[in-house]
């Protein structure tokens, strides 16, 4: 730890700005630094790949009986023998180790200890590892003078700063505006819980853990800042090129990242790069997922398979519910504005379903010829041409409307039938409310479809689902035909030929299950008799 004044440090920084160019930067590690490690294994091969800080690399692979060093075959082994097993055991350990510990483990491991003899393969493997680590040892030896340092005086501070030459700019920015006396640390610092540090603490190239209190500022450059829950920084926490491990304590002066401006300058470029890469990755991923989903056609299996039936089934049910909702709204419109017409159509469909269906079939077949012939007939006259222009779009529209009206009328009949039935779940359908009856009927007509969708979610029930869909299609077809025929027969509900006239006697008989003719005396004369009697009375009257 060194206690300095700002002016001294600034002079130091100014000198170092030049000195850094001439001073060699010492190595920090005792062994060759491993910056990247890849350990992989399959049934056939087991590989370790190392990258070193000085750009060197090492790759050793045991693959199907052949040993490769940096891609070159150097020997052979029997898969599963002692050497193979020892190599794999060593790699299993290597998975959990990093950098120095990994290098140390590799130094200690010798293939010769695990083989039956010093074969060429064993020698080559040991030599490859030793060569890589011997270089590391030389580097450590060469760098030992500059790496070993104490931080008890200004010389060590100087060395520490030289070692952090690339951070001088950040350090100067971090210290800007701090004139107070402060402590500079180049090793990890822990402000323990309950302790109070007066003034400002500066940490360069090391970590600062705050569990107690720092009354002044905390400046960390090129290190890490870890503020625990009990930690308090009275001033600012100024960081530059620093990892913020935790921020669970209290920073009264706020957290200042002095390199934030630089980050913003880089932001534009970064965002652009990110967008490009994101788009690239997204496209790749979509392609991959698309390919995966196509597997259903390739080999009957897909990663989407488990989810697709559920989505399809739920989507199908939802689709039918929306259809029921839309048709119900249309039906409500018909009930409001053409209630009597709808009554006539529904009554006709109920009393003469066969006739209505036949007329509906015929009407369906004749729709297109009538549409074309009507247009031609209108177009042959000059007066008819404007009408033909209207005819072309309006006729299909009218036909569609007629079909919808007919279907909704049949649905209402179906709703009434369901209301009278003893089926479970139909108790809510009340005939007194035509809208509820209508919705009930629509649900009834589409029930087979919805049941099919639900069943299709379950595996191995595709046959039943298909059967239900077929039943639903047949019901829909006949409902449409009967409804359309009823619309035609009643001329859109204006002609009540098939609705019948209210007969109070018949209604009484049906309600009381009695024959009023037996109760009231001799049967009334037949219509012919009534006609004859009427004629006789007319004739008698004339005579009289």
Partner 1 sequence: MGRALCLAAGLMVFVPIGAQGQSWRTVTMSRQLQSNEDVRVFVRYGAGHFTVRSVDEGLLYRMNLEYDEDRFEPLADYSGNRLRLGLESVGRNINLKGRDTGSLELELARGIPMDLDLEFGAVRAEIDLGGLALTDLDLSTGASESVVDVSQLNPAAMSAASFEVGAAQFTVRRLGNLNAERIEVSAGVGSITLGLDGRWQRDARIGIEMGLGSLELHVPEGLGLRLRKDSFLTALDSEGLIKRGDVYESLDFDSAERRVVIDLDAAFGSVAVVWIR
Q: How far apart are CA 148 and CA 145, in angstroms?
A: 6
* Binding segment toward partner 1, per CB under 8 A, in 118-126, 178-186, 274-282, 473-481: 274-282
Of 95, 142, 390, 510, the one binding partner 1 by CB under 8 A:
95
CB of 173 to partner 1, least distance (A): 14
Q: How far apart are CA 541 and CA 544, in angstroms?
A: 5
Q: How far apart are CA 194 and CA 199, in angstroms?
A: 16
Helix axes 168-175, 6-22, angle to 10 degrees: 170
CB of 326 to partner 1, least distance (A): 13
CB of 241 to partner 1, least distance (A): 5
Task: Decide if residue 39 touches partner 1 (CB under 8 A).
Answer: yes
With CB under 8 A as the rule, give the number of residues binding partner 1: 63
C-beta of residue 170 within 8 angstroms of C-beta of residue 220: no
Q: Tell me the DSSP string of 195-245.
A: -EE-SEEEEESSEEEESSEESS-EEEESSEEEE-TT-EESS-EEEES-EEE
CB of 256 to partner 1, least distance (A): 12
Task: Decide if residue 34 touches partner 1 (CB under 8 A).
Answer: yes
Q: For the chain, how big is the Rg over CA atoms in Å?
A: 47
CB of 271 to partner 1, least distance (A): 9
Q: How far apart are CA 88 and CA 514, in angstroms?
A: 98
Beta bridge partners of 364: none
Residues found in the chain: 544
CB of 399 to partner 1, least distance (A): 31
CB of 251 to partner 1, least distance (A): 11
Tokens representing 286? Answer: 């979509």
In this complex, which beta carbon is closest to partner 1, that of residue 4 or of residue 232? 232
Strand order in the sheet with 224-227: 189-191, 207-210, 224-227, 243-247
Task: Decide if residue 454 touches partner 1 (CB under 8 A).
Answer: no
Of 20, 41, 74, 467, the one binding partner 1 by CB under 8 A:
41
In this complex, which beta carbon is closest to partner 1, that of residue 302 or of residue 499? 302
Classify 55 in phi/psi space as left (phi over 0), alpha (psi -120 to 50) or beta. Answer: left
C-beta of residue 419 within 8 angstroms of C-beta of residue 438: no
Q: How far apart are CA 171 and CA 221, in angstroms?
A: 6
Q: How far apart are CA 174 and CA 158, in angstroms?
A: 18
Q: Tell me the DSSP string of 245-299.
A: EEE-SEETT-EEETTHHHHHHHHHHHHHHHHHHHHHHHHHHHHHHHHHHHHHHHT
In this complex, which beta carbon is closest to partner 1, that of residue 304 or of residue 338? 304
Report strand pairing: 45-52 vs 218-221.
unpaired
Task: Decide if residue 53 touches partner 1 (CB under 8 A).
Answer: yes
* Binding segment toward partner 1, per CB under 8 A, in 269-277, 355-363, 376-384, 483-491: 269-277
CB of 169 to partner 1, least distance (A): 13
Classify 113 in phi/psi space as left (phi over 0), alpha (psi -120 to 50) or beta. Answer: alpha
In this complex, which beta carbon is closest to partner 1, that of residue 251 or of residue 480? 251
Name residues whose C-beta falls within 8 Å of residue 230's C-beta, 6 or more positions apart in sequence. 193, 211, 212, 249
Site string for partner 1, 359-398 (x = CB under 8 A): ----------------------------------------
Task: Decide if residue 57 touches partner 1 (CB under 8 A).
Answer: no
In this complex, which beta carbon is closest to partner 1, that of residue 95 or of residue 376? 95
CB of 484 to partner 1, least distance (A): 31
* Binding segment toward partner 1, per CB under 8 A, in 29-37, 195-203, 340-348, 494-502: 29-37
Of 98, 261, 497, 532, the one binding partner 1 by CB under 8 A:
98
Report strand pairing: 207-210 vs 189-191.
parallel
Task: Decide if residue 296 touches partner 1 (CB under 8 A).
Answer: no
Tokens representing 135? Answer: 């270089």
Site string for partner 1, 297-326 (x = CB under 8 A): -xx-x-xx--x---x------x--------
Sole residue written with tokens 């309006």: 394
Sole residue written with tokens 């369906």: 364
CA distances from 67 to 45, 114, 168 (A): 10, 15, 47
* Binding segment toward partner 1, per CB under 8 A, in 268-276, 372-380, 481-489, 528-536: 268-276
Task: Decide if residue 91 touches partner 1 (CB under 8 A).
Answer: yes
C-beta of residue 330 within 8 angstroms of C-beta of residue 408: yes
Of 1, 11, 15, 38, the one binding partner 1 by CB under 8 A:
38
CB of 262 to partner 1, least distance (A): 9
* Binding segment toward partner 1, per CB under 8 A, in 69-77, 174-182, 267-275, 368-376: 267-275
In this complex, which beta carbon is closest to partner 1, that of residue 318 or of residue 535? 318
In this complex, which beta carbon is closest to partner 1, that of residue 93 or of residue 509? 93
Of 96, 144, 150, 421, the one binding partner 1 by CB under 8 A:
96
Which residues form the interface with partner 1 (CB under 8 A)?
33-44, 46, 53, 80, 84-85, 88-89, 91-93, 95-96, 98-99, 222-224, 241-248, 255, 263, 266, 270, 273-274, 277-278, 281-282, 284-285, 288-289, 291-292, 294-295, 298-299, 301, 303-304, 307, 311, 318
């Amino acid at each position: 730890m060194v206690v300095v004044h700002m002016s001294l440090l600034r002079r130091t920084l100014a000198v170092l700005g030049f000195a850094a160019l001439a001073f060699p930067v010492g190595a920090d590690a005792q062994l060759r630094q491993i910056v990247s490690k890849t350990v992989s294994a399959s049934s056939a091969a087991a590989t370790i790949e190392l990258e070193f800080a000085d750009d060197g690399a090492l790759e050793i692979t045991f693959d199907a009986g052949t040993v490769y060093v940096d891609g070159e075959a150097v020997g052979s082994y029997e898969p599963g023998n002692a050497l193979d097993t020892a190599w794999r055991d060593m790699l299993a350990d290597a998975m959990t180790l990093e950098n120095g510990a990994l290098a140390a483990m590799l130094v200690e491991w010798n293939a010769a200890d695990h083989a039956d003899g010093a074969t060429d393969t064993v020698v080559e493997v040991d030599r490859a590892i030793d060569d890589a680590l011997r270089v590391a040892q030389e580097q450590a030896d060469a760098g030992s003078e500059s790496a070993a340092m104490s931080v008890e005086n200004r010389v060590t501070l100087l060395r520490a700063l030289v070692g952090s030459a690339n951070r001088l700019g950040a350090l100067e920015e971090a210290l800007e505006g701090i004139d107070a006396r402060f402590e500079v640390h180049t090793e990890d610092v822990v402000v323990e819980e309950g302790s109070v540090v007066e003034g400002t603490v500066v940490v360069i190239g090391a970590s600062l853990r705050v569990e107690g209190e720092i009354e002044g500022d905390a400046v960390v450059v090129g290190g890490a800042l870890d503020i625990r829950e009990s930690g308090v920084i009275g001033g600012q926490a100024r960081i530059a090129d620093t990892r913020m491990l935790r921020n669970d304590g209290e920073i009264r002066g706020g957290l200042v990242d002095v390199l934030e401006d630089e980050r913003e300058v880089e932001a534009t470029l970064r965002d652009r790069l990110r967008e490009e890469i994101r788009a690239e990755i997204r496209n790749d991923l979509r392609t991959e997922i698309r390919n995966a989903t196509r597997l259903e056609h390739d080999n009957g299996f897909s990663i989407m398979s488990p989810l697709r039936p559920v989505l399809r089934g739920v989507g199908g049910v939802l689709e039918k519910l929306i259809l029921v909702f839309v048709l119900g709204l249309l039906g409500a419109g018909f009930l409001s504005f053409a209630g009597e017409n709808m009554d006539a159509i529904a009554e006709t469909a109920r009393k003469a379903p066969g006739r209505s269906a036949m007329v509906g079939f015929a009407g369906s077949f004749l729709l297109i010829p009538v549409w074309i012939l009507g247009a031609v007939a209108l177009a042959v006259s000059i007066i008819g041409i404007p009408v033909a222009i209207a005819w072309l779009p309006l006729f299909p529209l009218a036909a569609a409307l007629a079909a919808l009206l007919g279907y909704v009328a049949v649905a209402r009949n179906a709703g009434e039938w369901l209301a009278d039935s003893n089926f479970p779940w139909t108790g809510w359908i009340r005939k007194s409310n035509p809208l509820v009856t209508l919705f009930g009927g629509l649900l009834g007509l589409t029930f087979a479809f919805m049941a099919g969708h639900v069943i299709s979610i379950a595996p191995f029930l595709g046959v039943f689902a298909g059967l239900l869909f077929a039943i639903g299609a047949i019901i829909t077809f006949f409902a449409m035909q009967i409804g359309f025929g009823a619309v035609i027969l009643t001329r859109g509900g204006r002609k009540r030929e098939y609705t019948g006239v209210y007969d109070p006697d018949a209604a009484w008989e049906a309600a009381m299950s009695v024959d009023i003719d037996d109760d009231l005396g001799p049967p009334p004369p037949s219509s012919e008799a009534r006609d004859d009697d009427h004629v006789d009375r007319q004739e008698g009257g004339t005579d009289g």
